[in-house]
Structure 1
Amino acid sequence: MEPVTFSESGGIRYLHFGSELIQGAMRIRDPDEIYLEYNQQMMAWLLFLETKPGMKIAQLGLGTGALTKFQHRYCPAVKTTVVELNPAVIVAARSMFFTPDDDRRLETLQTDAKAFVKSSKNKGRFDAVQVDLYDAICDGPAASSLEFYEGCYNILKAPGVMTVNLFSRHESFDINLKNICEAFDNRVLLFPESHDCNVVAIAFKGPKLEAEWKEVSKRAKLILEKTGLPTNKWVSGISRENARQENRLSI
């Protein structure tokens, strides 16, 4: 397991895995805020799924617990299951980044995400899956095979949405995107590249999704008003970035 280390600068606390590469960040005076842009975009399933009692989200990779804390605070109807292999990351998220302890809305499993998505007991169990799996080398997702993404597809309900953090300036990007597209029948949208060279992919399972972008924009505005999540640029970015999606959402 990689060693877990920390640094602080300008009121921001950073998580590292024994190197200078950043694995997560938190504004100390606002620990429930999702600080990094790509992390914010990992919440894009909110654009397409209405939160409701009994809803279940799988979060593969804990990091600083940014997504966990946000969902725990702003999505009270949702139960989040966190899958994290490194026990030191779980301890760090709770002690250094103020992630809440497990309760009826939060379950933390110390296990391998690749085994988790292959388990038959998880089939069709989750409304959304968030995938952010990186190791100390940080040259691409630690799980990237077609088999892994087929597992992500299988643990989703229909309709269901997966968001994945990809590293755009590395050969792993094309490999991951190809496997995601194959596993999800090419029903994949991309955010524009963020300033830290991350690209978040959104993949869909279930009935075909057809909507006017202005309706999606209304949803984005509602999320912004309720949670402060900066969704105001999401719709324009997604519609521009993806071929044949310029005029309306059809996927």
Structure 2
Amino acid sequence: MKAGANAAARARRTPQALPEVTISEDSEVRFLHLGTEWIQGSMLLDAPFDIELDYVQRMMAWLLFVEPDSVARRRALQLGLGSAALTKFCFKKLRMDTTAIEINPQVLAVCRQWFKLPADGPRLRVLLADAGEEIRSADHVGAYDALQVDLYDHEAAAPVLDSPDFYADCRTALTDDGCLTVNLFGRDASYERSLQGICAAFGADAVWAFKPTREGNTVVLAQRTSNRPTRMALLARAEAVQARWGLPAVKWLKLFKPVS
């Protein structure tokens, strides 16, 4: 991304330009919107700490690469709070030390009031900051085992932060066996550019991708250190993840493979 484009992206994300946050719901699900009809997150009213959307569940695919018994000792970071589905799941279900970075104070307030996001505490914190700037802080170097990036503005057209330099900053924030997961639009023209940026930062042999969901969301995973488990090893891990946390991890294996 050129310097001018970076400046334009920052301008779109200044406090004065941040969109209004609204909610809607049907009989079972509450939705978060950023001033448009686009769904930016959701919550099951009867199970507020579960993950409702398929693509958000797939953002947890890093669990396939770590021992389940080690998860509660690990640290997670989300860039973009959304409806706090990932943040709540990592904190409440996985019992992880969890941090989120969100630029819009309205999003945080709505998540606390309407989406059951707990208050900050010893294992949970939300930083109100620009994710692209904050991720470069020395506090984050080598700090996270799971880094989950879902950064779309109210137009939901393409990721707000999507340059090779940004993905390199994400890699720097990971532990040696840490993983990045990113939500991209797999049927959009920007997908190949985004994938190339991730491969440039991590190496193509460390990058995996899901097939797009029905809505077109494609989750890409990148490992800080490339590791290619056998299909049998992945199946055993998927079965353990599904049994322990209720995520459809066995089904993931039909949709998830290395990009090279």
Tell me if 1:175 matches 2:200. no
Match of 1:34 in 2: 51
The equivalent residue for 1:247 is none
- Tell me the secondary structure at the aligned position of residue 38 of structure 2: coil
Cα deviation, residue 10, structure 1: 3.2
C-alpha distance 125-200 of structure 1, shift in aligned 2 (>3 A): same
Kindly indicate whether the alpha-carbon contact (under 8 Å) linking 2:23 and 2:32 is maintained by their aligned counterparts in 1.
Answer: yes
Q: 1:13 aligns to what?
A: 30
Counterparts of 1:217 and 1:10, CA distance in 2: 35
Q: For residue 227 of structure 1, what is the aligned residue in structure 2?
A: 245
Q: Which residue of 1 aligns with 2:233?
A: 215
**Contact 2:49 2:93 survives alignment (8 Å):** no
SS in 2 for 1:82: strand
Q: Percent sequence identity over matched residues?
A: 38
Structure 2 spans left out of the alignment, 5+ residues:
1-17
Equivalent residue number for residue 222 of structure 2:
203
Match of 2:169 among 143, 146, 151: 151
Alpha-carbon deviation of 1:144?
0.5
When the two chains are superposed, the root-mean-square deviation of aligned CA atoms in Å is: 1.4
Q: Which residue of 2 aligns with 1:45?
A: 62
Segment drifting more, 140-149 vs 115-124:
115-124
SS at match of 2:254: helix
Shift of 1:171: 2.0
Alignment counterpart, residue 188 of structure 1, candidates 203, 207, 215: 207
Secondary structure of the equivalent of 1:220? helix
Other structure's SS at 2:135 match: helix
**CA distance in 2 between partners of 1:243 and 1:41 (Å):** 16
Q: Name the CA distance, whole Å, in 1 between partners of 2:259 and 2:203.
A: 16
Where does the alignment leave 5 or more consecutive residues of structure 1 unmatched?
Answer: 245-251
Secondary structure of the structure 1 residue equivalent to 2:214: coil
Task: Give the drift of 1:146.
Answer: 1.2
Asked if 1 retains the 8 angstrom alpha-carbon contact of 2:176 and 2:224, the reply is yes
Shift of the alpha carbon at 1:99?
1.1
**Equivalent runs, 1:94-173 vs 2, <5 Å:** 94-173=112-191
1:90 maps onto 2:120 in alignment: no
Give the number of equivalent residue pairs.
240
Partner of 1:56: 75
CA separation in 1, counterparts of 2:259 and 2:20? 42
Q: Which amino acid aligns with 2:49?
A: D
User: Retained in 2: the 8 A contact 1:139–1:172?
Assistant: no
Q: Name whichever structure is richer in helix by fraction.
A: 2
2:259 and 2:145 map into 1 onto residues whose CA distance is 26
SS across alignment from 1:211: coil
Letter in 1 for 2:94: C
Displacement of 1:169 in angstroms is 2.5
- The Cα shift of 1:236 comes to 2.2
In structure 1, what is the equivalent of residue 92 of structure 2? Answer: 73
* Distance verdict in 2 for CA 1:134–1:159, change over 3 Å: same
- The amino acid that maps onto 1:126 is Y
**CA spacing shift, 1:151–1:243, aligned 2, 3 Å:** closer
